[in-house]
Amino acid sequence: MNLEGVKISQDERGNKIYSFKDTSEWNLNSKINFKGKNNILFIAKDAKFKDSFVGFSGDDSLVFIGNSLVDKVSIGVFYNQICYIGNKNYFNPGSVKSLALSEGKHIIIGDNCLFSFNIWFRNADPHLIYDVTSKQRINPSKSIIIGDHVWCGQDAGFMKGAFVASGSIIGAKSMVAGKTYYSNSIYGGSPCRKIKENIFWSGQCVHTWTDEMTQKYQEMPTGDFIFSFKKEQFLDPILLDKKLSSLPNAYEKLEFVYQNIYLNTNKNRFACFENLSSAKKSNSLIGAKVIIQNELAYKLGSAMIKNSKSVKGWFVLPFELAKISQKHKKEQELYQMLLSLNVNFTLSKLEDYADFDEALRMKNHLSYKLGEALIEANNKKWGGVLQTAL
């Protein structure tokens, strides 16, 4: 995890604040209260925490504030929890928004969301309910996940087990709980039900508009806010929740969400639809050729051919190859991490793609063969490297 320029402050109980600017630049009249130990508050480079509160009443928890203006928000965490707020989210300053985390469960909020007045989150009831016959508890606490570009209306409440997929609208005074609310759809009511699907929304505010402005926006020819299910990008909320709960300390929590959520720029990472039959073909968009081009052998061989065309290229070639290898290794580590979150992330076999024949020709090309030879030579150490060079 590369956190160049980060400043870390720590108290006597091991609680840490990670930030990139002086406190006065990001803490705008907010209060941070550490009662437990070994917790982390992470403040991204362009984050601002205004008229807000975060209280750590337990141990080993993480509150992650992305590049958003978090305005009049109250966050309460206890033991082994993650509260994550992504980038470019808007919190209406007209009232306090409450995020209450309980019983080791988490709240994840993506990017570009809009939150109106008096919105609250609770992932526990919080008292206990049992079945009369079995005497077993029937109201376990559950995490809440809000995707990207979600509009949450005034007085909406978000309860345990809610997954609101990207591009949706939650109407005013809705009670959102216990199920998936699908992408590009409008939901409302208590309990919250689907009102309309196949919609998208844009964040311009119409309060001061003239007739000319109204007319200008009668049509919006853009696909920026239209999401689609891509199984190779999707972060399964159930698997994500299990992974978050398995992380034993605040630093490992920070490392995971930083690498796999904060740095994850896939548009459709939280996109989900009720009918996925048409989305199952999405892997064909990747193509077998792209898979071959992303293999280490092809990358190394292509660099060898490119750099062999000049004296300067020969001199810098070892450094270029090392750079490519290191980058590829990091990409593979990220792939394995995403695979643990999404069982559908595994790519199909090459022969399943329409461009399989073209990919096969690429695999037999000199670029790929050179890369394969270099990898094999590297395993033989110096004798093999010399053999490849000759």
Structural domains in the chain plus CATH codes = 7-261 (2.160.10.10), 288-381 (no CATH)
pLDDT for the residue 381: 55
Please check whether residue 225 is in contact with residue 203, taking contact to mean a CB–CB distance below 8 angstroms.
no
Least confident of 16-30, 174-188, 348-362: 348-362
pLDDT for the residue 26: 96
The whole-model pTM stands at 0.74
- Does residue 47 surpass a pLDDT of 50? yes
- The SS3 call for residue 253 is helix
Return the residue matching tokens 């919006």.
220
Amino acid (1-letter code) at residue 111? D
Distance, CA of 157 to CA of 192 (rounded, Å): 10
- Does residue 153 surpass a pLDDT of 90? yes
Mean pLDDT computed over every residue of the chain? 89
pLDDT band at residue 104 using 50, 70 and 90 as cut-offs = very high
Q: Residue 202: phi, psi to the nearest 5?
A: -130, 150
Least confident of 138-152, 213-227, 282-296: 282-296
β-pairing, 48-50 with 97-100? unpaired
pLDDT band at residue 281 using 50, 70 and 90 as cut-offs = very low
- Residue 265 C-alpha from the chain's centroid: 7
Radius of gyration over every alpha carbon of the chain, rounded to an integer in angstroms: 25
Gap between the terminal Cα atoms of the chain:
39
Tokens of 271: 């996109």
- DSSP 8-state code for residue 37: S
* Farthest CA pair distance, the chain: 82
Distance, CA of 42 to CA of 66 (rounded, Å): 8
- Does residue 267 surpass a pLDDT of 90? yes
pLDDT for the residue 290: 73
pLDDT band at residue 133 using 50, 70 and 90 as cut-offs = very high
